């Protein structure tokens, strides 16, 4: 997916949607790596955000960067397929949101897209044991999903370390992404615990200078 050791993925949920294309263009030219979508359905989580049309609009606008879609929705399969058609490069979903985790993983892969499994703070890592080798990414939530701008849950650090060991044991190129409360104060300990991909929303889009902020984030993990 990337030769970079560390990936910074700004979450567009915190961007200005009135000028979203320009916002994404700006943040990507400022040193970000992936575009992160937080997709919520007001059913699996208590919030409603964006759908495949926004993904297609960014592609039509000319955004060619890697698009990383996190589905906080149920059911999974149909909307995952719609996002892939709209231009997503990777789709992650929650195991609780589908009746057949392995089938949903394979449906995404069969459509030519990379796949991730998203784990909530209160979800056991046992779900990864039988499917981790089929994944391109494990997404650990360090806040309870539903809203941006929440504080990092410290207990996630132990979980990151455990998943890092699981990934290393496979010998495969599987990225470990952390989403929730990642900012200048937390990114170093998140990286030290074993994460290599960092979702940051308000920590980037809430600042006046994206390039300066991303440079400072990288300095914490270099």
pLDDT single digits (tens) 108-118: 999 999 999 99
Q: How far apart are CA 22 and CA 4, in angstroms?
A: 25
Q: How far apart are CA 142 and CA 153, in angstroms?
A: 5
Give the C-alpha distances (Å, rounded to integers) separating 181 from 98, 101, 186: 26, 27, 7
Specify the 3-state DSSP secondary structure of 14: helix
Q: Establish whether 179 is a catalytic residue.
A: yes
Q: Find all residues with CB under 8 Å of 63, minimum gap 6, and list them.
A: 21, 24, 25, 28, 35
Residue 26: enclosing H or E segment and its boundaries? helix 20-29
Q: Establish whether 173 is a catalytic residue.
A: no
CATH 3.40.190.80 correct for 7-221: no
Q: How confident is the model at residue 153 (pLDDT cuts 50, 70, 90)?
A: confident
- Supply the DSSP symbol for 15: S
Identify the active-site residue in 38, 41, 136, 196: 38
pTM assigned to the model: 0.95
Q: How confident is the model at residue 148 (pLDDT cuts 50, 70, 90)?
A: low
Q: Is the pLDDT of residue 4 over 80?
A: no
Q: Is the pLDDT of residue 152 over 90?
A: no
* pLDDT confidence of residue 150: 66
Identify the active-site residue in 68, 89, 136, 179: 179
What does the pLDDT look like over 26-36, one tens digit per residue?
A: 999 999 999 99
């Amino acid at each position: 997916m990337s030769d970079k050791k560390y990936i910074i993925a700004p979450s567009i949920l915190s961007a200005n949607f009135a000028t979203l294309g320009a916002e994404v263009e700006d943040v990507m030219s400022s040193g970000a790596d992936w575009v992160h979508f937080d997709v919520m359905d007001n059913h699996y989580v208590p919030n409603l955000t964006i759908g495949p049309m926004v993904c297609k609009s960014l592609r039509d606008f000319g955004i060619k960067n890697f698009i990383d879609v996190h589905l906080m929705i149920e059911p999974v399969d149909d909307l995952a397929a719609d996002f892939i058609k709209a231009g997503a490069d990777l789709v992650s979903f929650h195991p609780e949101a589908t009746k057949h985790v392995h089938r949903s993983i394979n449906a995404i892969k069969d459509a030519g897209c990379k796949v991730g499994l998203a784990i909530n703070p209160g979800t056991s890592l046992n779900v990864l044991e039988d499917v981790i080798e089929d994944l391109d990414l494990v997404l650990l939530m360090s806040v309870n999903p539903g809203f941006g701008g929440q504080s990092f849950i410290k207990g996630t650090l132990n979980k990151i370390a455990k998943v890092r060991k699981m990934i290393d044991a496979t010998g495969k190129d599987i990225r470990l992404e952390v989403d929730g409360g990642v900012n200048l104060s937390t990114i170093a300990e998140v990286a030290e615990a074993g994460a290599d991909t960092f979702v940051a929303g308000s920590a980037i889009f809430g600042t006046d200078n994206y390039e300066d902020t991303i440079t400072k984030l990288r300095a914490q993990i270099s």
